[in-house]
């Protein structure tokens, strides 16, 4: 059983440099989360056990980042009814286009909400998770509104 609302999973330690931006954004919004390395290729049993029990464990949203032949988000989405947001991690060989295509082209029936490649995708996955959770959490909705308002306030009228 987890006490966290969001699971942030990734295929490798090397994905953390990207996926930490999801964790940091969740932190900024006061959303509980649990970050784990769960590889579809290297730890398939761990992936299966995680995905099968994620809902019963108390998670409400899963953010899954992977690079290259990035099966993780789709495999996890096939094993859980929870919403899954996929983050294509920027790969060395193909700059993340491989990750993006691997994650985004799910056949009809098993959705993965696919974000942008890299840091922007990781950050926005957290914001989407926040928006989902805010539907049933007015205090979080207020924090999310404030976060967005602060971003708006930070935009200067003119370039310097």
Which residues sit in the known binding site for substrate? 12, 15, 42
Q: Kindly identify the residues of this chain, within the stretch 76-135, that bind ligand RP5 according to CB under 6 A.
A: 89
Strand partners, 98: none
The dihedral formed by the CA atoms of 138, 141, 145 and 146, expressed in degrees to the nearest 10: 70
Query: How many residues contact ligand RP5, by CB under 6 A?
Result: 10
Q: How far, CA to CA in Å, does 25 sit from each of 14, 46, 80, 121?
A: 19, 26, 24, 12
**Contact pick of 20, 41, 46, 143 for ligand RP5 (by CB under 6 A):** 41
Q: Mention every residue, 6+ apart, whose C-beta is less than 8 A from residue 1.
A: 56, 57, 58
- In the shown chain, the binding pattern of residues 43 to 82 toward ligand RP5, with x for contact by CB under 6 A and - for none, equals -----------------------xxx--------------
**Contact pick of 7, 9, 12, 80 for ligand RP5 (by CB under 6 A):** 12
| Smallest separation (angstroms) from ligand RP5 to the CB of 97 | 13
Of residues 89 and 126, the one with the C-beta less far from ligand RP5: 89
Separation CA 135–CA 156 (nearest Å): 31
The dihedral formed by the CA atoms of 47, 26, 111 and 54, expressed in degrees to the nearest 10: 40
Of residues 117 and 129, the one with the C-beta less far from ligand RP5: 117
Query: Which residues are annotated binding-site positions?
Result: 12, 15, 42
Of residues 9 and 133, the one with the C-beta less far from ligand RP5: 9
Q: Which residues bind ligand RP5 (CB under 6 A)?
A: 11-12, 14-15, 39, 41, 66-68, 89
């Amino acid at each position: 059983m987890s006490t966290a609302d969001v699971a942030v999973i990734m295929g490798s330690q090397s994905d953390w440099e990207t996926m930490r931006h999801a964790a940091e954004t969740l932190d900024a919004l006061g959303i509980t989360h649990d970050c784990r390395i769960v590889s579809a290729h290297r730890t398939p049993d761990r992936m299966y056990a995680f995905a099968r029990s994620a809902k019963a464990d108390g998670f409400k949203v899963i953010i899954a980042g992977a690079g290259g032949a990035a099966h993780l988000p789709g495999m996890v989405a096939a094993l859980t009814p929870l919403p899954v947001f996929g983050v294509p991690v920027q790969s060395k060989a193909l700059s993340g286009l491989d990750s993006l295509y691997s994650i985004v082209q799910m056949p009809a029936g098993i959705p993965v909400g696919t974000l942008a490649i890299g840091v922007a995708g990781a950050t926005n996955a957290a914001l989407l998770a926040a928006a989902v959770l805010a539907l049933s959490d007015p205090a979080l909705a207020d924090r999310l509104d404030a976060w967005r308002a602060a971003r708006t306030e930070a935009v200067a009228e003119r370039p310097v």
